[in-house]
Amino acid sequence: MSVMRFLLPCLLVLGSLACTSPRLDQPGQVRHPMVPLDPYFSWLYEYDVSNDETSYKWSALLWTIGHSRENETTSTHVFPLWWSTNDPPYESSTLFFPLYYGRTSADVTTRFFSLLYGYSDSTEERTDWVIPPIFHWRRSKTADVWGSSLLLAYDWQHDYGKTSVTFLSLLGLAHVFKGEFGLPAAGEDVGALGRSSSRRFDLVNVLGIISLFGYDDVGDRRDIRVLTLFSNEMLSPIRSWRGRGEDPFVSEWVFPLYMNKQNENSGWMYLGPIWGTIDDRLEGVHTNWWLLGLLSRRSAPEGVSWSVAGLTVSGPD
C-alpha cells in the first residue's frame, strides 16, 4: 500500500497554507511600507503598497490576519481558521479549518468536508476519501484503471486486466498476503498452454527480510518457495522451480536433505548422503550412487559398471 496515497489529502490541505511572495510584473509594483512603525511594533499592523497601487499587502497581530493582492491574484487569511486565494482564471482555493477545504483549477476540482469525506475530480480520474487517510477509492474515466484501499486492511489495484491485492499491510513494510493476477499467460519459450493469465503471490512478508510462502507461475516456469530470505529465491531452504509444459527444467531442493537440478542435456539429484543420480543425456550416461559415492553404478552405451570408493569392480573400465 502506497504511503503517498494516504498522505496526498493531507498534503493538498497543507499546501494551501504556503505563503508565496508576490509575482511582480514591473518595477512599479515593488511594495513600500506605508505604516512607519518601529520594527518592535510591526507585529501589530503593517501595510505595504506599490506606487501604482496594483500590488499591496496588509497584516496584523503577528501576521495571523492579512490580505494581499497582485494584479488579479488575491489572498486572505485569518490563521488558522480561514485561508482563501484566487488567481483567475487558473486556480482558486479556500480553507475553513477544520470544516471545509476547496481547490479549483483548470482541470481538477478538490473538496474536503471536515475530516470525514473528500474528493478530487478531474477530466481523467476521480478519487474519493472517507476519513482520510483511512479509506480511498480511485477510478479512471478514460481507461480500465481503478484502485481502493483501507488503511492496514487491504490495498486493491487494477490496471488493464492486471490486478494487485494486498491484505493486512503495515504501510507497505509488512503484509499477510500479496497477490498479482492477470499477468501474461505465455512466457518467452513456452506458450499459454490453455491459460488466459498467470499469477504471483506470497504470504507473511516482513520488511522484505523473510517471506513465509511464495508462489508464481509467470512466464515459462512455476516456482514455489518457503521461508525466503531477503527476497532472494536462492536463499529459500525449500524451493521447487520447474518448467511448464514439456520444458524439462527443474531446480528444487529441501536444504540440505534433497536437491534436484535438471535441464535438457543433463541433470543430477541427491537424497541426503544415502542416494543420488547423475545424468548426461547427450552421452547417454546414467549414474546412481549410494552412501556419498562409496558405491555407484554407471550405465553407458558401452555397458554397465559398478564401483566401490571410486574403483571399478565390475563391468567396462
The per-residue DSSP string of 225-259 comes to EEEEETTBGGG-SEEEEEESTT---EEEEETTTEE
CB 70, CB 28: distance < 8 Å: no
Distance CA 156, CA 218 (A): 20
| 214 burial type by CB count under 10 A (0-12 exposed, 13-18 middle, 19+ buried) | buried
- pLDDT at residue 19 is higher than 70: no
Percent of the chain with pLDDT over 70: 86
**Is residue 267 a contact partner of residue 279, using CB atoms and an 8 Å limit?**
yes
What is the C-alpha separation between 219 and 206, in angstroms, rounded? Answer: 26
Mean pLDDT of 223-238: 92
pLDDT in tens, 239-273: 999 988 788 899 999 999 999 999 989 999 999 88
Render pLDDT for 81-106 as a digit per residue (tens, 0 to 9): 888 998 887 788 888 888 899 988 88
Q: Which secondary-structure segment (H or E) carries 126? A: strand 125-130
Which pLDDT value is given to residue 211? Answer: 95
Whether this model's pTM surpasses 0.75: no
Q: Residue 73, Cα to own-chain centre: how many angstroms?
A: 39
Across 15-19, 28-32, 228-232, 287-291, least confident range: 15-19
> Using the 8-state DSSP alphabet, how is residue 27 labeled?
G
Q: What CA–CA distances, in Å, run from 86 to 68, 71, 92, 95?
A: 11, 11, 4, 12
Q: What percent of the chain has pLDDT over 90?
A: 45
pLDDT 10s digits, 41-89: 766 778 788 877 778 888 888 878 998 888 788 898 888 888 899 888 7
- Taking 70 as the threshold, does the pLDDT of residue 188 lie above it? yes
> Nine-digit cell at 312?
571399478
Closest of 134, 99, 124, 93 to residue 114, by C-alpha:
99
From 26-40, 68-82, 171-185, 282-296, the region with the lowest mean pLDDT: 26-40
- In degrees and rounded to multiples of 5, residue 40 shows phi and psi of -70, -20
Q: Which of 11-25, 148-162, 188-202 has the highest mean pLDDT?
A: 148-162
Phi/psi of residue 163, nearest 5 degrees: -125, 135
What pLDDT is stored for residue 12 in this prediction? 46
